[in-house]
Structure 1
Amino acid sequence: MIKTDIEKQKEESLVKELVLEVGTVCATDFFETNVSVKLPDYQRPYVWNVEKLKQLLKDFKDHFFYDGDYNENAQPYYLGCVLLYQKSEEEFEIIDGQQRVTSLLILDYACNDSKSYLAQEKWNLEYSSMLSTAVIKHNFKYLSENVSLEIKNHLNDIFSKLVFTVIKTNSEDEAFTFFDSQNSRGVSLSAVDFLKSYHLRELKGNEDLQRRFAKQWDSNNKGQFLTELFDFILWRSRSWKGKNLSFENKDAILKDFQKKTIKEQNNDIIRLYPNVCNTLANQLTYDSQLGLCVQPNILNLQSTASQYPFSIRQPIQKGVGFFLYTEKYFAVYNQLFTDKKNETFIKVYNKLITQNSYYLKMFFKLASVVYYDKFKDKKLQEFTLWMDYLLGSYRIYQRTIVTQTVIKILRDNVQNLLDVIEMSYRPEDVFEFIRSITDKNHYDVDLTSDPVYGVRNNYKNANLSFYKKEENSELIAKEKWIYEYIRKK
Structure 2
Amino acid sequence: MSLVWLYGSREDPSLVEEMRSSLATDFPDIKVGNITHWGGGGRNYQYFIQLTAENLPKGSHYEYTTDGWQGYLEFHLEAEPGDENFKRLKKIGIRLTHALENTPVTCEQRGRLPFGTFYFSNGGIRSMKDFVDRFKELYNIITPNLNAIDKKVVEVTLQGKPPQSEEPLKGPIENNQEVTSEIMPLKKVMGLRLWLPDYQRDYCWEERNITDLWKNLLKIQKDKPFHLGTLILHANTEKGVYDIIDGQQRLVTLSLILWGFGYDGNLPLLSAEYTLPESIRNIGNSKFIIKSLIERSENREDLLDNILKEVSFAVLVVNGSNLDLAYTFFNNQNSKGVPLSDFDLLKAHHLRFIPGKEGGQAEHMAKKWNTVSSLPPSYGEANSLARVLGTHLYRLRKWMRRKDSDENSYRYVQHEFQAAPIIPDIPPFGEQFRFYEKIQGGTHFFVYVETFIQRYEQFCKLEPVKLLRKNLSESRYETFADSIETLLFGYYLKFGNQYIAEALFCIARLMALYRYNSYAVASSGVGVREFANNSEIILMIDQATSPTFFLAEVLGKFDSYTNGDYPIRTGLDLDEARGVRWGIYTALRNIFRDPKLEITDSYILHKIFEEYGRK
Q: Scaled by the length of structure 1, what TM-score is found?
A: 0.50
Larger Rg: 2
Q: Scaled by the length of structure 2, what TM-score is found?
A: 0.41
Larger relative contact order, structure 1 or 2 (CA cutoff 8 Å, min sep 6):
1
Q: Say which structure is richer in helix.
A: 1
